[in-house]
DNA sequence: GATGAATGAGTTTTCATTCAT
DNA sequence: AATGAATGAAAACTCATTCAT
């Protein structure tokens, strides 16, 4: 069930420390994905890692920092997978296709990462003490990049005139929705699903032929 | 902030009892929407209702039942708003438009209901002890009805050939996604948003002109 | 070991609640006096009261509130003992004598109260988060009243010219010091001790005979 | 903020080891004085010393030994300052004056030492597991020496007849009380304070003129 | 029907201490 | 000699639930 995310923390941490942090982050992702955010206590995470509770406190300032690192690690990994394939495309439509396909690939390869991040998002959204959650701070850029891509397509004349905000949010939601379905049915054919989405959003975005 | 949902429980409950249950459900919705699922403790809900904690336990077998009733109440209310407008349409495309519009209308009129239900969905989804959550049991039919509508459109020859599962999930996700945005920006223009979505999914579903 | 302090909380609390609060306060005083502030955990206090830990949290917002109530309760009790005897005196020298005697009487009758309050004072003094502790807020007035008494004596011509601040602080310290000695030697003769102190401070304050 | 106390441990320790111990003791004094006894964790002390936590455990058998060494170090330093000035006096009254003045001098020059020692005294006084604390063991002699001085004064006919125990305790308490005031108001004029105390206790001790 | 009180398991966090390297 | 890592017990506090009145 491990997702093997290794954030390869910033330089000033020792190899051993980075390994432990990565291990804890992995176990935390699994625990959140499988048990839900509320049930993923530090005790449970420690149990899965086969370490004592104190170790987590030793390596992370608190649960908040751990959650922040989880989001960071997942984002980093997702970006690493997606960026090269996005850059290989020239047309806006191609990039949009690549965006959808790589997202679903990542989803298929790392279901727990996505489940975890969605549960974190839902559970920590606007808690009393933090006006903007780490989750939101992390994902606003993701949607913004998508918007840029769409605007680029409109400028190129590939895409019709639509609200880039709405379209970006819809594409993002569509992909996030796949995660939920994947949770209910782990045998979902993601390749086929990606094809459907690609066609769907191609029709929804492209400029009607004269 | 009250949402005034009255589930009007089944017949064998007294008037007073139903009123209390409805009041508790309303306050619970507000609490979950405003504080997040994790922070909406029974104590907080009781505080908002101006009653003692014990009352909640008296009227509901446990927190789980309360959550289940919340979902039921919201679903009932949403259905009551949407069904008539759906039925007024003849064409599949018209019904899809009505579906999107009524959903966003409901969202605008009852933001707390939607925020609450999304937080419940994310938080209770596959907790350790319950294989299928009330949430899932309640919402699978909702998506299934949408699927039926899409299949009907295909049979009528209005809609192109696509996976009704994927399309239904995407439409549902698109609408759910609006709730998140509404939370971040309460001044969102929902009418305009609905128009964008209607056009988007019209293009995505309709049969290409010969 | 009980000190039987019953703060008789403000009117809006039920009889039962006040009784529980008083019981918890009593046990907390004993625990602090006997084990020291650091070792007087909520668990230990609950154990002494024969109740569960949660009860303390139920009745007091937190440990800080409990400590505040302890100080308030002791102060109230001490004042109740001292005030009448102070008022019965006419001369400043008589009042000073009454102050010393009643303080030592209270000390003898309620050693745990004094031990507890001194330990609280030492342990909570300038913790990071509270610039002025409850303890200081509670005891500054006590020293200030003593200063007023000394100034009155000077104005009456009974007392010589000295710094009322220094004298007040010294008298207060002398009395507090008795508490420490009482802790080490519970058979201390407080009557004799009081007499010694009365003479000591009489000599130190009175105007030299012409 | 360093107080630079170097206990110069007993002979069988290497120079390096003694230096480390002294450094740790200094940092511990500062930490206790500034943060309070409870907040002066080994981690905090290590942080201030720029070393790892383990080093403290390496050099001291436990926290208790560290505390004991702190008391010893301060006592040694205080004695070194006070003894010569005491010995320079011939009369008992002069020695008493020197005692008060040197104590307050030391207080002004080493506020952290005094703050630390008072916090240690209050916090460790009769903790559950140690019948007599290092603190008490260390300070009983200090009061006993004062008592000897007072008895000497009575034998010389300089001092009136009073309980030397009470007088010694009162003088000691008066001086300790200054430390608390100094904490609240660091601009306290200690010279003036010392003068007041000298006069106060001179009047309180001397034999009335015939 | 409703309440206040109590419970006890559970949460995160802190800390002195130990130990292999 | 020193370190970073790990431990495990204990801390304060939260919360769903139970129950006598």
Mean pLDDT of B153-182: 94
Measured CB to CB, residues of chain D less than 8 Å from chain C are 35-39, 118-119, 121-128, 136, 162-163, 166-167, 169-170, 172-174, 176-178, 181, 183-184, 192-193, 196-197, 199-201, 203-204
Mutation to test the C interface, candidates D180, D198, D201, most C Cβ within 10 Å: D180
Of B38, B174, B203, nearest to A38 by CB-CB distance is B38
Q: What are the residue ranges of helices labelled H in chain D?
A: 15-35, 42-49, 53-59, 63-87, 92-109, 111-124, 134-156, 164-184, 190-205
Is a pLDDT exceeding 50 seen at residue C161?
A: yes
pLDDT attached to residue D128: 46
- C16 alpha-carbon distance from chain centroid: 27
Is a pLDDT exceeding 60 seen at residue C178?
A: yes
Is B152 a member of any domain? Answer: yes
Q: Helix, strand, or coil here: B206?
A: strand
pLDDT attached to residue A119: 83
Backbone angles phi, psi at C13, to 5 degrees: -110, 145
CA of D7: how far to CAs of D14, D20, D21, D74, D143, in Å? 13, 11, 8, 8, 22
Is B210 a member of any domain? Answer: no
What are the pLDDT digits (tens) for B175-196?
Answer: 988 988 888 788 899 999 999 9
Residue B97: which pLDDT band, with cuts at 50, 70 and 90? very high
Residues C78 and C116 in one domain: yes
Is C3 a member of any domain? Answer: yes
Q: Which residue has the higher pLDDT, A143 or A197?
A: A197
pLDDT attached to residue B9: 47
Residues A57 and A75 in one domain: no
pLDDT attached to residue C194: 98
List bases in chain F with any atom under 7 Å of a protein Cβ: 1-20
pLDDT attached to residue C123: 73
What are the pLDDT digits (tens) for D96-155?
Answer: 999 999 999 999 999 899 888 888 887 776 554 455 566 666 667 778 889 999 999 999
Residues B80 and B47 in one domain: no
- Residue A158 DSSP label: S
Of A128, A174, A197, nearest to B35 by CB-CB distance is A128
Asked if strand E comes closer than 7 Å to D156 Cβ, the answer is no
Residues A102 and A42 in one domain: no
What are the pLDDT digits (tens) for A44-102?
Answer: 999 999 999 999 999 999 999 999 999 999 999 998 988 899 999 999 999 999 999 99
pLDDT attached to residue D119: 83
Residue at a domain's end among D26, D61, D96: D61
Is C21 a member of any domain? Answer: yes
Q: Which residue has the higher pLDDT, B91 or A123?
A: B91
Q: Please give the full DSSP string across chain C, using - where no structure is assigned.
A: ----------TTS-HHHHHHHHHHHHHHHHHHHHH-TTT--HHHHHHHHTS-HHHHHHHSSSHHHHHHHHHHHHHHHHHHHHHHHHHT--SHHHHHHHHHHHHHHHHHH-HHHHHHHHHHHHHHTT-TT-SS-HHHHHHHHHHHHHHHHHHHHHHTTSB-S--HHHHHHHHHHHHHHHHHHHHH-TT--HHHHHHHHHHHHHHHHBPPP-
pLDDT attached to residue D151: 97
Q: Which residue has the higher pLDDT, D76 or A183?
A: D76
pLDDT attached to residue A61: 92
pLDDT attached to residue D180: 82
Mean pLDDT of C104-127: 83
Mean pLDDT of C101-120: 91
Residue A53 CA to residue A39 CA, distance in Å, equals: 15
Report CB contact under 8 Å: D122, C118: yes
Residues B87 and B167 in one domain: yes
Task: Answer for the pair D137, D74: CB distance below 8 angstroms, yes or no.
Answer: no
* Nearest chain B residue (CA) to A176: B173
Is a pLDDT exceeding 80 seen at residue A140?
A: no
Is B51 a member of any domain? Answer: yes
pLDDT attached to residue C11: 56
Chain D positions in Cβ-Cβ contact with residue C203 (cut-off 8 Å): 203-204
Q: Which residue is closest, via its CA, to the C1' of E17?
A: D57
Average pLDDT of every residue of chain D: 87
Is a pLDDT exceeding 70 seen at residue A135?
A: no
Q: Write out C14-28 in H/E/C secondary structure.
A: CHHHHHHHHHHHHHH
Mean pLDDT of D11-40: 86
Is a pLDDT exceeding 80 seen at residue C46?
A: yes
Residues A89 and A184 in one domain: yes
Q: Which residue has the higher pLDDT, C9 or A15?
A: A15
Of A35, A173, A201, nearest to B127 by CB-CB distance is A35
Residues B50 and B78 in one domain: no
Residues D116 and D37 in one domain: no
Of D35, D166, D176, nearest to C196 by CB-CB distance is D166
- Residue A161 DSSP label: S
Q: Helix, strand, or coil here: A206?
A: strand
Q: Write out C95-117 in H/E/C secondary structure.
A: HHHHHHHHHHHHHHHCHHHHHHH
Is a pLDDT exceeding 60 seen at residue C162?
A: yes
Of C125, C169, C200, nearest to D167 by CB-CB distance is C200
- Collect all residues with Cβ–Cβ distance below 8 Å to B20 and sequence separation of at least 6: B55, B59
Is C66 a member of any domain? Answer: no
Residues B42 and B124 in one domain: no
Is A66 a member of any domain? Answer: no
Of A37, A119, A177, nearest to B172 by CB-CB distance is A177
Q: Helix, strand, or coil here: D129?
A: coil
Mean pLDDT of A183-203: 94
Mutation to test the D interface, candidates C111, C142, C177, C184, most D Cβ within 10 Å: C177
What are the pLDDT digits (tens) for B120-145?
Answer: 887 776 554 455 566 666 667 778 88
Residue D186: which pLDDT band, with cuts at 50, 70 and 90? confident
Q: Any idea which residue has 């336990």 for tokens?
A: B57
Chain B positions in Cβ-Cβ contact with residue A204 (cut-off 8 Å): 200-201, 203-204
pLDDT attached to residue D34: 86
pLDDT attached to residue A128: 43
Domain enclosing residue B7, as ranges: 1-61
Is a pLDDT exceeding 70 seen at residue D68?
A: yes
Report CB contact under 8 Å: A123, B122: yes
Whether B and D touch (3+ CB pairs < 8 Å), yes or no: no
Is a pLDDT exceeding 90 seen at residue C186?
A: no
Is a pLDDT exceeding 60 seen at residue A2?
A: no
Average pLDDT of every residue of chain C: 87
What CATH number should be reported for the domain holding residue A166? 1.10.357.10
pLDDT attached to residue A141: 75
Measured CB to CB, residues of chain A less than 8 Å from chain B are 34-39, 118-119, 121-128, 136, 162-163, 166-167, 169-170, 172-174, 176-178, 180-181, 183-184, 192-193, 196-197, 199-201, 203-204
Number of Cβ within 10 Å of residue B189's Cβ equals 12
From the alpha carbon of B66, which nucleotide's C1' atom is closest?
A: F16
Residue at a domain's end among D15, D42, D61: D61
pLDDT attached to residue A129: 45
Residues D97 and D152 in one domain: yes
Chain D positions in Cβ-Cβ contact with residue C35 (cut-off 8 Å): 127-128
Average pLDDT of every residue of chain B: 87
- The size of chain D, in residues, is 210
Report CB contact under 8 Å: C170, D172: no
Task: Answer for the pair C113, C76: CB distance below 8 angstroms, yes or no.
Answer: no
Residue at a domain's end among A61, A87, A105: A61
Residue B10 CA to residue B169 CA, distance in Å, equals: 32
Which two structure tokens, joined as six digits, stand for B44? 């907080």
What CATH number should be reported for the domain holding residue D35? 1.10.10.60
Q: Please give the full DSSP string across D25-76, using - where no structure is assigned.
A: HHHHHHHHHHH-TTT--HHHHHHHHTS-HHHHHHHSSSHHHHHHHHHHHHHH
From the alpha carbon of A50, which nucleotide's C1' atom is closest?
A: F6
Task: Answer for the pair D127, D38: CB distance below 8 angstroms, yes or no.
Answer: no
Is a pLDDT exceeding 90 seen at residue B207?
A: yes
Residues A186 and A104 in one domain: yes
Is B201 a member of any domain? Answer: yes
Residue D11 CA to residue D8 CA, distance in Å, equals: 8
Mean pLDDT of B157-180: 94
Q: Any idea which residue has 């997202």 for tokens?
A: A103
Whether B and A touch (3+ CB pairs < 8 Å), yes or no: yes
Residue A154 CA to residue A205 CA, distance in Å, equals: 9
Task: Answer for the pair D192, C163: CB distance below 8 angstroms, yes or no.
Answer: yes
pLDDT attached to residue A32: 93
Question: Could you give the number of structural domains in chain D?
Answer: 2
Task: Answer for the pair B8, B18: CB distance below 8 angstroms, yes or no.
Answer: yes
Measured CB to CB, residues of chain C less than 8 Å from chain D are 34-39, 118-119, 121-128, 136, 162-163, 166-167, 169-170, 172-174, 176-178, 180-181, 183-184, 192-193, 196-197, 199-201, 203-204
Residue B71 CA to residue D79 CA, distance in Å, equals: 76
Chain D positions in Cβ-Cβ contact with residue C177 (cut-off 8 Å): 169-170, 172-173, 176
Residues B200 and B98 in one domain: yes
CA D67, C1' E20: Å apart?
A: 28
pLDDT attached to residue A120: 85
pLDDT attached to residue C1: 56
Q: Any idea which residue has 């080493």 for tokens?
A: D110
């Amino acid at each position: 069930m491990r997702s093997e995310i290794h954030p390869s923390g910033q330089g000033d941490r020792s190899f051993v420390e980075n390994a432990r942090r990565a291990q804890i982050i992995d176990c935390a992702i699994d625990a959140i994905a499988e048990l839900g955010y509320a049930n993923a206590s530090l005790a449970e995470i420690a149990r899965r890692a086969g370490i004592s509770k104190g170790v987590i406190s030793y390596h992370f300032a608190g649960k908040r920092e751990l959650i922040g690192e989880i989001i960071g690690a997942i984002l980093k990994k997702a970006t690493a997978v997606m960026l090269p394939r996005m850059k290989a495309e020239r047309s806006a439509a191609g990039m949009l296709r690549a965006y959808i396909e790589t997202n679903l690939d990542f989803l298929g390869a790392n279901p727990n990462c996505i489940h975890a991040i969605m549960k974190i998002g839902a559970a920590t959204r606007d808690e009393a003490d933090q006006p903007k959650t780490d989750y939101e701070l992390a994902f606003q850029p993701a949607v913004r990049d998508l918007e840029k891509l769409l605007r680029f397509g409109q400028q190129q004349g590939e895409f019709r005139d639509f609200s880039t905000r709405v379209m970006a949010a819809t594409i993002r939601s569509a992909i996030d929705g796949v995660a939920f379905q994947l949770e209910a049915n782990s045998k979902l054919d993601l390749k086929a699903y990606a094809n459907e989405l690609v066609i769907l959003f191609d029709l929804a975005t492209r400029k009607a032929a004269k």
